[in-house]
Chains A and B, each alone.
Chain A
Amino acid sequence: MKTIYLDNNATTRVDPRVFEEMQPYFCDLYGNPSSMHAFGGQVGSKITEARERVAAILGADPTEIIFTSCGTESDNTAIRSALESQPDRKHIVTTKVEHPAVLNLCKHLVKKGYHLTQLGVDENGRLDLDELRSAVTDNTALVSIMWANNETGTIFPIEEIAHIVKSRGTLFHTDAVQAVGKIEIDLNKIPVDFLALSGHKLHAPKGVGALYVRKRTPFRPFIIGGHQERSRRAGTEAVPSIIALGKACDVAFENMSIEQNEVRELRDRLEQGIINSVPLTIVNGDESSRLPNTSNISFKFVEGEAILLLMNELGICASSGSACTSGSLEPSHVLRAMGVPFTFAHGSIRFSLSRFNTKEEIDFVVKEFPPIIERLRAMSPYTEE
């Protein structure tokens, strides 16, 4: 059975060009970039190139890039650094729809004595910027707001948000894990202090990420040890993965128009195909400001895990915000924050595409998916009510 992979916000296929670029650095060019010999040194210059490539996709300077192990580490580093560098400030502002990498850290910090304000969202997942304006005080150490939401694809107006936060003299962090490589980001124009990104969301392997830290933003390292990353992130560099991340950023930068055009077209074809043939559906998220690859659709009266299991029988991979798939008993915190009714929230499916998807795949899903919902609705006690 052929796999149709529509779960690219969970993780992506490593691009063969990326894989090719990293391959020599396992068995042949395995030197340590910190070594004093040329065998290690040649690896160091390749890391420099990777740093330049990551900086390029962000509109940043290479000295502003720190390589990390993942998006979560980047988020943790940024938030903890902001708190440690401003010990007198005890307040954090974030949103109700952040990724657990930010949300659960913030909740943990509440237990350590910090105050937390979580901004709400409207039914389309949009923030109220006046609420942000009134939330930030002199005691606020950091505002952390994601660039784009992983579940619905809703893009927040980060430029405007960054200007609001900076006008108050507060540090600003953005979790851009879902945004980098899919939409244009230019930190020359947008005054964020910290930005987190993850390799495996943009066709690099799992286990590598990066943190952007603006020049002159106070910084305290999270992992302390050797002098790697100019002592901002100790630990021997994950050389092949860092080289892969650089190449992935390079490819993504060149292919940005594919995301904006071809991928968006496929996503719209899928979304329209499904909502035109399945009754009682809603599209979750801000359709006017959304990642080009993401579609989150709720199906009334059916439960998400059951949908995914039947999709799995056809080789179609996606995600759900239902309680049963999250390992918790409540549906997605993002959909609940948006006020999506429970009758819809338990039956939400997130399709997330990539440049590797084809029109044939989408047409197959548009044809095979509606009977899945019909079949489950026929079994549901609520359908006829």
Chain B
Amino acid sequence: MWDYTDKVKDHFLNPRNAGKIENADAVGEVGSLACGDALKLFLKLDDEGKIEDATFQTFGCGSAIASSSALTEMIKGKTLDEALEITNRDIADYLGGLPKEKMHCSVMGREALEAAINSYRGIPIDTTALEGEVVCECFGVTDKQIRKAIHENDIKTVEDVTNFTKAGGGCERCIPDIEKILAEELGAKANTSGPATSNKPLTNLERIQLIQKVIDEELRPALQADGGDLDLIDVEGKKVIVSLRGACSNCPSAQITLKDGVEGRLREMVDPEIEVVEENA
């Protein structure tokens, strides 16, 4: 059973603003029956261009209905520009958080809002989705949507790309493409914040300290969020020996985590020639 907050339960069991607005000024529709969730958002504007009323019709799970309900409450009284500042993260926060696997429900809310406002402003519908290349054919997710989700939500794993955008959640054929996009985006981020971009070669001690720092500050919190963990066992030159703990130790994707997640990040942050191996592997 999903661990929904009381606020999610409340908005699901007592949805605010469910229904449609006749003669709405703006309507935004995203999702489809095939995808398993869909949201139609209706907006009524007052004379000053503020959102006077907002309602929704949603086909979807508990958190999709709760996210829709929350969104309508959040945007009422706002101008369209103010409303557009709301991110999917804001919707999730308003509800006291959503299970990770359900974050795409908040993304759907944000997309419906954008679609409604774009259609009102005469910007062709779905322009955001059509731009870029479709990466995930099962759910029709483009590289642009994936990159946006990575940036807005500080995503570091392929699994979270799926949680937030659904991309990769169907036949899984696009997982390598998502891995590539993720690596590019994380690489770009590293270069802007980049402690490792200095050209001065690291001493052995500095290298070990930096590896430990990246593991403690970045990698372990991400793994712990999934019930796993990682210990640094030893560093032999460019070979980093680690041990996967908790849920990681018997996870079928552990090798992907190790190679793409851990090794990828250490190569970016510390040394491009680093090789990560598992203890006793």
Contact = CB atoms under 8 A, between A and B. Distances in A.
Interface string A324-350: 110111110000000000110010000
Contact of A329 (B13, B40, B139): B139
B194 interface: no
Interface stretch (A209-217, A232-240, A250-258, A302-310): A302-310
A382 B33 CA distance: 8
Contact of A313 (B13, B61, B139): B13
Interface residues of B, number: 30
B103 interface: no
A379 B61 contact: no
Contacts of A303: 36-37, 59-61, 64
A343 B13 CA distance: 23
Interface residues of A, number: 26
Interface in B104-121: none
B58 A379 contact: yes
A330 B169 contact: yes
Interface in A280-321: 301-306, 309-310, 313
Interface string B52-64: 0000011111101
Given A381-B57, A382-B33, A305 B15 contact: no
Contact of B58 (A309, A330, A381): A381
A322 B36 CA distance: 8
B138 interface: yes
Contact of A328 (B13, B18, B169): B169
Contacts of B233: none
B166 interface: yes
A309 B62 contact: yes
Contacts of A302: 59
Contact of A323 (B2, B36, B40): B36
Nearest to B18: A379
Contacts of A330: 36, 138, 169-170
A380 interface: yes
Contacts of B15: 379
Contact of B36 (A310, A346, A378, A379): A346
A202 B29 CA distance: 47
B34 A342 contact: yes
B65 interface: yes
Of listed A313, A324, A382, residue having the most chain B CB within 10 A: A324
Given A306-B12, A329-B139, A381 B38 contact: yes
A165 to B, nearest CB: 30
Contacts of A343: 33
B39 interface: yes
Contact of A381 (B36, B39, B139): B39
Contact of A380 (B13, B58, B138, B162): B58
Contacts of B166: 329
Nearest to B136: A329
B101 interface: yes
Contacts of B169: 328-330
B60 A306 contact: yes
Given A379-B15, A379-B18, A331 B36 contact: yes
Contacts of A301: 33, 59
Contacts of A327: 101
A380 B34 CA distance: 14
Contacts of B2: 305
B247 to A, nearest CB: 14
A53 B101 CA distance: 44
A305 B61 contact: yes
Contacts of B39: 381
Contacts of A380: 57-59
Contacts of A379: 15, 18-19, 57-59, 65
Interface in B57-110: 57-62, 64-65, 101-102
A170 B36 CA distance: 41
A127 B117 CA distance: 50
Interface in B206-241: none
A329 B162 contact: yes
A380 B33 CA distance: 10
A305 B169 CA distance: 18
A76 to B, nearest CB: 14
Nearest to A347: B59
A10 to B, nearest CB: 12
Contact of B61 (A324, A328, A378, A382): A324
A310 to B, nearest CB: 8
Contacts of B64: 303, 306, 324
Contacts of A306: 12, 60-62, 64-65
A72 B200 CA distance: 55
A342 B18 CA distance: 24
Interface in B1-29: 2, 12-13, 15, 18-19, 29
A320 to B, nearest CB: 10
A69 B169 CA distance: 31
Closest 4 CB pairs of A and B: A329-B169, A324-B61, A305-B61, A381-B57
20 contacts: A303-B60, A306-B60, A309-B61, A309-B62, A324-B62, A324-B102, A327-B101, A329-B138, A330-B170, A342-B33, A379-B18, A379-B19, A379-B58, A379-B59, A379-B65, A380-B59, A381-B29, A381-B57, A381-B59, A382-B33
Interface of B: 2, 12-13, 15, 18-19, 29, 33-34, 36-40, 57-62, 64-65, 101-102, 138-139, 162, 166, 169-170
